[in-house]
Structure 1
Amino acid sequence: LQPTLSRLGPTETHPSIPKSFSNNVVSHTQEFSVSNQNPIHGKMGRVPVGIGRRRMRIVVTGGAGFVGSHLVDKLIGRGDEVIVIDNFFTGRKENVVHLFGNPRFELIRHDVVEPILLEVDQIYHLACPASPVHYKYNPVKTIISFFTTNVMGTLNMLGLAKRVGARFLLTSTSEVYGDPLQHPQKETYWGNVNPIGERSCYDEGKRTAETLTMDYHRGDG
């Protein structure tokens, strides 16, 4: 088990794929110049992304969400098989409907708090019911939902990765640092945390997911 931890800033309006994706498992921008004719297009050009690499079978939890659906598009575009797992609490089917009918795409309506067994090469765990409105107006219900998703959901995905030998990537958030005194924050920075603030239900859930991931890495990595 080789987990990779990636943090996405919650205030970014157009989140980009983190460097850890390309450094470890996603290399979706790689292209190769060729001096002969492209056998697919029959003319001079570039070899399409995915040529010369083994097709991967990948699970994306929360793949019908904003960030997840863009990741799915990239993975499909490079030639991989993608299974999206989403319970549609905050995700939208409209984000992936354009992939219906693609033989390399599968959509499973499933809550990650329940175990699931699939044969896959990689797992991208993005599932999390992030909703600032719920943080403020129903924090108790929200923290229960976050706890089950971030704890049981992460445990289930880590367990799946261990059973089938898949690589695992957890997407977290810069909010695990609380109100940071260091800008930008390094991975070695522990943060300036308020455990009782309005948004703490979200922050604590993500911190727990990070702890679980690193514990799996130390014990089974």
Structure 2
Amino acid sequence: MGKRSADDAGSSAAAPHKAKRSRTGIRAALPTSDDAWRRKLERAKESNVIRAKTLQTYAKVKARALAAEDGKAASKQVAGEEEAAAVAAPASMHPERQARIDDTEEAGGSGRDDKPAERQRPQRGPGARPAKRPQSFFQKAQEEAAQKKAEAEARQAEFARRAAEREEARARRARHQKAMAKARRVDTHKGGRNGGGGGDNQRRKLGRESGVLLDRVRKMMGK
């Protein structure tokens, strides 16, 4: 290795020196714990102020409501006392009116009976219908319930009758099919007429089949 040239030495001398950043500047730029506590205290103060205002408003509204209720209770009590006093103290009657009432009582006192007069009911003839008393709400409801119950029983009876008819018709069809199956029973005979290997020979019982068909025709004509 040789010595460094003069150009290399000049270039290294001309390079600027980079200044280091102090730690105090970094700390000043970063948020400190004091700032966080300060913001927390400010938020707590704001929430306390809002809460105090809310409590004051609620206290005012409650006081107004209590005052209004007390006023209503006092007015009701005064009205009740006045009404009781009016009922207790009899109203004074005018002297002329009192004199007329006394004269009327003296004039009609001799012909007045002690017992109240009975109402005269109109006499009805022998063929007249008795007067119909107005039905109460309970009687109407009872009659409606009885009518609905009767209608429900009638519907149930009709349903049972139709079900019985369907069951009877189903049994009749089953009997008819069974009888027809017996009438059309197949008799198999192996071997043909000449002793060969012919097929099955089906024989229908016409007497039994005719009887079943005749019963069916009679039932259709009877309907």
Pair in the same fold by TM > 0.5: no
Which structure is richer in relative contact order (CA contacts within 8 A, separation 6 or more)?
1
**TM bin (shorter chain):** under 0.3
| TM-score normalised to structure 1 length | 0.14
Flag the structure with higher helix content: 2
| Greater Rg by CA | 2
Flag the structure with higher strand content: 1
| TM-score normalised to structure 2 length | 0.14
